[in-house]
């Protein structure tokens, strides 16, 4: 069994527009042998985007989050001190703190990172699209 960490966009597309996901990502998500995980920082990103009017959800963000975790059998990974400290060391070409935390989460879980973000795909060897 492999662990897969979904970045925020992959989670949103899984829930609302699964055809936007690559075939490779969809196949991995459908393989029940894989453990699916998502960083708690993605909940923060979703709440911020919703509050700023950049994202519209069919439900209040906290209700949507809990429903998504249950529906897609996602393990919520808290932002621990180890993840927060490891995020500082991530050598990414930009300083997006949420991306750093998601990458550090995947690294510490020895997981693949599912993302469409071209910056992450080019900088993170364990990322997949």
Tell me the pLDDT tens digit for each residue of 13-46.
999 999 999 999 999 999 999 999 999 999 999 9
Tell me the pLDDT tens digit for each residue of 63-81.
999 999 999 999 999 999 9
Residue 95 confidence (pLDDT): 81
Enumerate the domain spans of the chain: 3-128
How far is 86 from 100, CA to CA, in rounded Å? 8
Q: CB atoms < 10 A from the CB of 120, how many?
A: 21
Residue 9 confidence (pLDDT): 96
Total residues found in the chain within this entry: 129
Fold annotation for 3-128: Rossmann fold (3.40.50)
Provide Rg for the chain, Cα atoms.
14
Burial class (CB in 10 A: 0-12, 13-18, 19+), 54: exposed
Mean pLDDT along residues 86-90: 92
How far is 125 from 106, CA to CA, in rounded Å? 11
Q: In this structure, are residues 127 and 115 in contact, taking their beta carbons and an 8 Å threshold? A: yes
Average pLDDT, the chain: 95
């Amino acid at each position: 069994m492999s662990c897969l960490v979904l970045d925020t966009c992959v989670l949103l597309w899984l829930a609302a527009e699964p055809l936007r996901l690559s075939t490779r990502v969809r196949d991995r998500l459908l393989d029940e042998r894989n453990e699916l995980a998502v960083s708690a920082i993605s909940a923060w990103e979703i709440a911020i985007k919703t509050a700023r009017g950049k994202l519209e959800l069919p439900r209040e963000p906290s209700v949507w989050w809990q429903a998504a975790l249950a529906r897609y059998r996602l393990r919520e990974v808290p932002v621990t001190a180890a993840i927060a400290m490891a995020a500082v060391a991530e050598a990414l070409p930009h300083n997006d703190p949420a991306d750093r935390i998601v990458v550090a989460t995947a690294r510490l879980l020895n997981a693949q990172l599912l993302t469409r973000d071209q910056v992450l795909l080019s900088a993170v060897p364990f990322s997949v699209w």
